[in-house]
Amino acid sequence: MQRLLRVFRAHRESLQICGLFGGIIAAFFLITSIKPVYEVTVAPFTAVVAWVSTRFLEMGFDGVVRQGTIIRIEGGTPLDIKDECNGIYATFIFLAATLAYPARLVPKLIGLGGGFLAIFLVNQVRVVTLFVIAKNWPSLMEDFHIFVWQTVVVIFAVLLWLFWADRIAGRRSGPATPEGK
């Protein structure tokens, strides 16, 4: 028991950060699961993702049509952008980790804004490439949608946070010791 207490004390700050991260991400999911909140946050965000994706696709394809969150080429298979496809979950992971991390306000704001934008842009690449795959290689669509791109977006969010914590928020002076620092 004494050993366990020493380990806990030695890693108290890390455990507090992890607990705060878990609480923040749970709050994001809980709050956005409330229908009125969802309708003024996640639903419009998903519509923006579809609108921006359509603008990109119009640069390379004729006849791209968007109806709400559904994008299609006339006569082609529709691509419906849902919550799992809008990048919001990867964004929640990044934002929760950034908010939980003990950093000064300015680096934290840079992380929140820059991370949100970077994940949004990577997710735009995801939607556009999935559209191209659905159009040209429909048999590959499901594998790329579920296994490749979902993984890439989440890994990108984690790596982006690691970069932010190390380069933007600044390196910590060293690991915590049982005495405090």
Alpha-carbon gap, residue 91 to 88, rounded angstroms? 5
What pLDDT is stored for residue 181 in this prediction? 44
pLDDT band at 171 (very low <50, low <70, confident <90, very high): low
Alpha-carbon gap, residue 2 to 117, rounded angstroms? 46
pLDDT band at 14 (very low <50, low <70, confident <90, very high): confident
Residue 53, token pair as written in the block: 């994706």
User: Which whole number is the average pLDDT over 8-26?
Assistant: 89
Question: Is residue 111 over pLDDT 60?
Answer: yes
Q: Tell me the per-residue pLDDT of 59-104, one tens digit each, with 9 for 90 and over.
A: 988 899 999 999 998 767 788 998 888 999 999 999 999 999 999 9
Q: Tell me the per-residue pLDDT of 114-148, one tens digit each, with 9 for 90 and over.
A: 999 999 999 999 999 999 898 888 899 999 998 99
**What's the angle, vertex CA 121, arms to CA 155 and CA 139, rounded to 5?**
70
- Domain ranges within the chain, ordered by starting residue: 2-168
Calculate the average pLDDT of the chain.
89
User: Which whole number is the average pLDDT over 43-62?
Assistant: 94
Question: Is residue 176 over pLDDT 50?
Answer: no
What pLDDT is stored for residue 95 in this prediction? 97
Alpha-carbon gap, residue 97 to 161, rounded angstroms? 7
User: Which whole number is the average pLDDT over 157-177?
Assistant: 77
What pLDDT is stored for residue 179 in this prediction? 45
Query: Could you give the percent of the chain with pLDDT greater than 70?
Result: 93
